[in-house]
């Protein structure tokens, strides 16, 4: 039984976050980056953590088991006046920990946080159209399909569509 904690990251988590992102980039083709594409320095990651934690319209969450990061979620609202009522998030869980409800807990926290935020009125996302696991999860927490983008991803010689999903925050 795994004992994990979901929390906002501190600057000191930067090296573990980098290790985590490199690991999940290897484990899945469902993210917007692949193996070897994440080349952020510890200093840059520390800066990102600080920036996110100081911005009331961003939310950065990690799930940790002892000293390791096992899941991560980052949400960012748009900044232009006419677009700043919505944002998008990225979410991943280390494969070993799939199916334990970690992603669902992080999304539930994001939705609760968004409801308490005066500015956020909508959460959008794009997900690879064949990522049934993620799509099921998003539907389970209330997201609805709103459209489809063809050739959203190109991985090697193959194109993959993305489904657009959204959740109104009232
Ligand atoms: C998608 C992902 C974040 C889900 O994380 P997770 O922690 O395994 O998800 P949870 O355990 O919270 O699962 C919650 C829901 O997923 C769905 N689910 C779980 N296993 C599933 C499976 N084998 N097939 C389809 N749906 C499944 C269920 O709806 C489940 O809800 P329930 O437990 O109430 O039935 C994780 O698989 C992942 O990191 N994948 C790679 C990266 C990725 O795809 N990120 C999303 C990009 S948009």
* Residue 33, C-beta contacts closer than 8 angstroms, at least 6 positions apart: 25
Each residue's pLDDT tens digit, 55-66:
999 999 999 999
Q: E strand or H helix at 19, and its extent?
A: helix 14-27
Confidence of residue 38 (pLDDT cuts 50, 70, 90): confident
Average pLDDT, the chain: 96
Q: Give yes or no for residue 165 CB within 6 A of ligand 1.
A: no
Ligand 1 atom having least distance to the Cα of 99: 11
Q: Give yes or no for residue 101 CB within 6 A of ligand 1.
A: yes
* Domains (range + CATH), the chain: 5-120 (3.40.630.30)
Residue 94 has pLDDT above 70, yes or no: yes
Q: Give yes or no for residue 91 CB within 6 A of ligand 1.
A: yes
CA distance 156 to 150: 16
Most distant CA atoms of the chain, gap in Å: 46
């Amino acid at each position: 039984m795994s004992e994990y904690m979901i929390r906002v990251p501190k600057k000191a988590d930067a090296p573990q976050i980098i290790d985590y992102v490199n690991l999940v980039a290897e484990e899945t083709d469902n993210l917007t980056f692949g193996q070897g594409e994440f080349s952020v320095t510890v200093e840059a990651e520390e800066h990102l953590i600080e920036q996110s934690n100081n911005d009331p319209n961003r939310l950065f969450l990690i799930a940790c088991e002892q000293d390791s990061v096992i899941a991560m979620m980052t949400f960012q609202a748009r900044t232009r006046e006419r677009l700043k009522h919505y944002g998008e998030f990225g979410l991943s869980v280390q494969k070993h920990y799939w199916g334990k409800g970690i992603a669902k807990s992080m999304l539930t926290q994001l939705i609760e946080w968004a409801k308490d935020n005066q500015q956020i009125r909508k959460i959008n996302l794009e997900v690879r159209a064949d990522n049934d696991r993620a799509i099921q999860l998003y539907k389970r927490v209330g997201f609805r399909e709103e459209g489809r983008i063809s050739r959203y991803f190109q991985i090697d010689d193959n194109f993959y569509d993305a489904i657009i999903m959204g959740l109104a925050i009232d």
